[in-house]
Structures are given as structure tokens and as C-alpha cells.
Amino acid sequence: MLIMLNNIRKGEEYMRLDKYLKVSRIIKRRTIAKEACESGRVSINNKAAKAGTVVAEGDTIEIQFANQVLKAKIINIAEHVTKDSAKEMYEIVSGREDKE
């Protein structure tokens, strides 16, 4: 499998978009994150993004939910985090996150 890393600088951490959405708990399950990407509701830095799009620190994610839009900046990328520290992976730019 080939992963495009055009927007990644040497030494930066990176991760697939669907996995980042799950690990950061912006979207609770990876399958739901993948479906959101495939339906065109997720963009990275104002460009439509697929589930396999690679994200890095500093990127901006925008997700269109049913009744709101969430825009968040990626601050940190980590493979595994606790529920409490997941919120430290991103900063909300606009909108609000789901509290469930």
C-alpha cells in the first residue's frame, strides 16, 4: 500500500485521517470516521479528504455533522491516548464537539 506524504516534512509525526479521528475521539469509531470521509463531509486544510489522507500537526480538520460544523487544529499525534488526554490532541477553532 502506498501512502502519499506530500504534505509531511521530515521528522514530523503523521497518521491516517480516519485513525486520527478515532484516537482523538472526535469521532467515536473508525468505521464512522471512514464513512464520514467517504461521504465528503471531512476536509483537511480546505481540501476534501479521504479516510486514508495523511494528517500532520498543524493541519486543520473540518467535519460537517448533521446540524453543525466542527473545525479543529491538530496539535499532537499519538498512537494511543487515554480518554482524558485525547482532548489535548486538537484545538477547537469553531463549532463544538460532541459531549457523549
Rounded Cα gap, residues 57 and 75, in angstroms: 5
Predicted local distance difference test score (pLDDT) of residue 28? 92
User: Within a domain: residue 51?
Assistant: yes
Rounded Cα gap, residues 97 and 71, in angstroms: 9
DSSP labels, the chain: -----TT--TT--EEEHHHHHHHTTSSS-HHHHHHHHHTT-EEETTEE--TT-EEETT-EEEEE-SS-EEEEEE----S---TTGGGGGEEEEES-----
pLDDT tens for residues 15-54? 999 999 999 999 999 999 999 999 999 999 999 999 999 9
CATH number of the structural domain spanning residue 50 = 3.10.290.10
Domain span at residue 69 reads 14-94
Per-residue confidence at 100, pLDDT binned at 50, 70, 90? Answer: very low
User: Within a domain: residue 9?
Assistant: no
For the record, the C-alpha cell of 56 comes out as: 500532520
User: Within a domain: residue 7?
Assistant: no
Number of domains present in the structure of the chain: 1
pLDDT tens for residues 58-81? 999 999 988 889 999 999 999 889
User: Within a domain: residue 80?
Assistant: yes
User: Within a domain: residue 4?
Assistant: no
Predicted local distance difference test score (pLDDT) of residue 33? 93
